[in-house]
Amino acid sequence: MQVAEIIVKILEKEGISDAFGIPGAGINPVYKYLGLSGITHYCVRHEEAAVHAADGYFRACGKMALAICTSGPGATNFVTGIYTANIDSIPLIAITGQAVTAQLGKDAFQCVDIAKICEPIAKATFCVTDPKSIVSVMQKAFYLAKSGKPGPVVIDLPLDVQMADVEFNVDEYQPLAFDNPHPDMKDIEKAIAMINEAQNPTIIMGGGVILAKAADLCVKFAEMLNLPVITTYMAKGGIRTDHPLNAGHAGIQVGQPIGNRVFLDSDLIIGIGCRFTDRHTGNINVYKGNRKFIHINVEPKEIGKIFQPDLGIVADAKYALEALLKVGAEQGKPKGSARIEAMQELRAQLKRKTDYDCVPIKPHRVYEELNKFFKDDAIFTTGCGLNQIWSGQLQDVNHPGLYLPSGGAGTLGYDIPAAFGAKIANPGKHAVAVMGDFGFTFHVQELAVAATYNVPVIVVIVNNAYLSLIRQNQKYAYGFEHAVAMDVNQGVMDYVKVAEGFACAGERVFKPEDIRGALERAVQAGKPYVIDIVCEKETDCSMGPAVDSVKEFV
């Protein structure tokens, strides 16, 4: 059987039903068999978007998808998407075409060592030069993508390897089984003992809890011991916003006043499936303070990478929470309710204002309208900028899989293709890309893809005519402003015409009371829809250098 056909047969055996990519001369042998398979292929307009679509697809449904493209610049366009998925621990298979093996390393046309390029930013990479190894490579690629801390795996395929014939019986192929690490029960007992000894312990639910499909277990554990739950940005939606134990986000950017207050008042932090990264911690000395830390992570290298916890537990979040529930039920001592009752009052007192009625529209009002209109009926994607930070601070999300941000990379251009992939994965939900006016022009061409396949994604542009995150950084960190004003984005640039040019629909909104009507028309349109909301230009976003010194702006 030809290797190209074997690859497609294995993709099907591994459960791949959807692929995002662009065909090309370097990958056409595989495309021949993709066209004969049961895998649905969506032809995107830029290779990076193929990876973002596969990324959003997984986040929305928990099932892997394929990203596929040709060699040379097609392959290098994958790089940002691979990095974006890897830093957020999103598994996917990325297949690239390649020149024939005899031309490797000889500067042949569109011959680039993509496996080497992606090595630092992918879970794993392979350049297959021996056709006989293809089965083992494919097996290992899927195993590595899914097991432990998940991530993208790149498989580079020279043309002659794709067209080689090797023996293969598809009925004999079996995916490699895996099981993530279980916790040492002695460590779990130590953790419960530390919680019992603490006066004000707090759980931090990280993105690893969402990936492990263990958010419900985390909430159950918190309820059993009456512990507040802070969610990291990647765990947004892991606990309902109205749950009495929800302490919001902590952090220096997408953090919330309630989250930072609860964190600072805590003497023990139980971090589950989190990484203690910089946008969450800020000044690490302030963050650590005199409090103790328990850190649970499936990846051993994550524990102690930022700072050494008092107790580190290598375990899958689901297994760790199951063990904590078991031992907690036997030995745990629920904490007093006074702190939780006080937290409810604090949540109301510290809630940031969103009900602005001014014109130009205050950006905060956009997120209030999104909360009121969509409730739990939409999947949101967001990439980078103040629009993303406001989204993290102000949007209410009540379920895992409904909020898909580019968290670790902050990738402009992630939003629209990720929303497209999410809508393919979960057609029963609206898919809404929330983005800035500058970021809109990154991969805006993917609106044409959404229109082509009749996938009605909704794009909400928070148009403040600025590179606003960079403007704010220049202003407060360096005392200047240069090259960040984008006045034309509220003037001669017409994003509604851009939408219409891609066979989509759209409108521009100037008054806050008109936002809801625009959202209603977007939902009813039955096609991709762009809502360009003209906002106040120089609104600052609350943030700061440390969790105890976030500057609030109104």
What is the DSSP annotation of 299-336?
SGGGTTTSS--SEEEES-HHHHHHHHHHHHHHH--PPP
Q: What integer is the mean pLDDT of 322-343?
A: 94
Sequence ranges of the domains in the chain: 3-168, 185-350, 363-534
Residue among 540, 548, 538 at smallest CA distance from 490: 538
Q: How many Cβ atoms sit within 10 Å of the Cβ of residue 83?
A: 20
Give 130-183 pLDDT, tens digit per residue.
999 999 999 999 999 999 999 999 999 999 999 999 999 999 999 999 999 999
**CB-based contact 294:313 (threshold 8 Å):** yes
Give 385-419 pLDDT, tens digit per residue.
999 999 999 999 999 999 999 999 999 999 999 99
At 554, the pLDDT band (50, 70, 90 cuts) reads confident
Question: Which residue in the block uniquely carries the two structure tokens 């089984």?
Answer: 177
**CB-based contact 44:418 (threshold 8 Å):** no
Instruction: Give the span between the Cα atoms of 207 and 183, in whole angstroms.
Output: 18
Residue among 68, 76, 83, 90 at smallest CA distance from 157: 68
pLDDT at 242: 95
Do the strands 66-69 and 18-21 form a parallel or antiparallel pair, or are they unpaired? parallel
**Using the 8-state DSSP alphabet, how is residue 537 labeled?**
T
Residues across the chain: 554
- pLDDT > 70 fraction of the chain, expressed in percent and rounded: 100
**CB-based contact 15:63 (threshold 8 Å):** yes
CATH for 363-534 is: 3.40.50.970
pLDDT at 337: 85
Domain 3-168 belongs to what topology? Rossmann fold (3.40.50)
Give 281-303 pLDDT, tens digit per residue.
999 999 999 999 999 999 999 99
Q: How many Cβ atoms sit within 10 Å of the Cβ of residue 356?
A: 17
Q: Which two tokens stand for residue 518?
A: 């625009």
Peptide bond before residue 360 is cis, with ω within 30 degrees of 0: yes
**CB-based contact 97:74 (threshold 8 Å):** yes
**Would residue 282 be called left, alpha or beta, if left means φ above 0 and alpha means ψ between -120 and 50 degrees?**
left
pLDDT at 146: 98
Residue among 357, 396, 349, 346 at smallest CA distance from 375: 396
Q: Is 178 exposed, middle or buried (0-12, 13-18, 19+ CB in 10 A)?
A: exposed
Angle ∠(146,150,152) on CA atoms, nearest 5: 90
Q: Which two tokens stand for residue 13?
A: 């055996």
Instruction: Tell me the whole-structure pTM to 2 decimals.
Output: 0.98
Instruction: Give the span between the Cα atoms of 3 and 128, in whole angstroms.
Output: 11
- pLDDT > 90 fraction of the chain, expressed in percent and rounded: 99
pLDDT at 12: 98
Phi, psi angles (nearest 5°) of residue 374: -90, -25
Q: Do domains 185-350 and 363-534 have the same CATH topology?
A: yes
Amino acid at 274: C
User: Under 8 Å CB-to-CB from 349, ≥6 apart: which residues?
Assistant: none
Residue among 160, 156, 123 at smallest CA distance from 137: 156
Domain 185-350 belongs to what topology? Rossmann fold (3.40.50)
What one-character-per-residue DSSP string does 339-353 give? HHHHHHHHHHHHPPP
Residue among 91, 289, 78, 122 at smallest CA distance from 200: 289
Residue among 506, 515, 207, 245 at smallest CA distance from 374: 515
> Is pLDDT of 247 > 90?
yes
Helix 363-374 and helix 386-394, axial crossing angle in degrees, nearest 10: 50
Q: Give the rounded distance of the alpha carbon of 472 from its chain centre.
A: 24
Give 199-209 pLDDT, tens digit per residue.
999 999 999 99
Give 334-392 pLDDT, tens digit per residue.
998 889 999 989 999 999 999 999 999 999 999 999 999 999 999 999 999 999 999 99
Angle ∠(378,86,105) on CA atoms, nearest 5: 135
Amino acid at 305: K
Amino acid at 386: L
**Using the 8-state DSSP alphabet, how is residue 548 labeled?**
T
Give 260-270 pLDDT, tens digit per residue.
999 999 999 99
**CB-based contact 27:68 (threshold 8 Å):** yes
At 220, the pLDDT band (50, 70, 90 cuts) reads very high
**Minimum mean pLDDT among 331-345, 433-447, 512-526: which range?**
331-345
Residue among 277, 398, 370, 381 at smallest CA distance from 58: 381
Phi, psi angles (nearest 5°) of residue 265: -85, 0
- Return the SS3 of 171: helix
Instruction: Give the span between the Cα atoms of 75 and 81, in whole angstroms.
Output: 11
Angle ∠(502,388,457) on CA atoms, nearest 5: 30
Q: Which two tokens stand for residue 309?
A: 């916890």
pLDDT at 550: 98
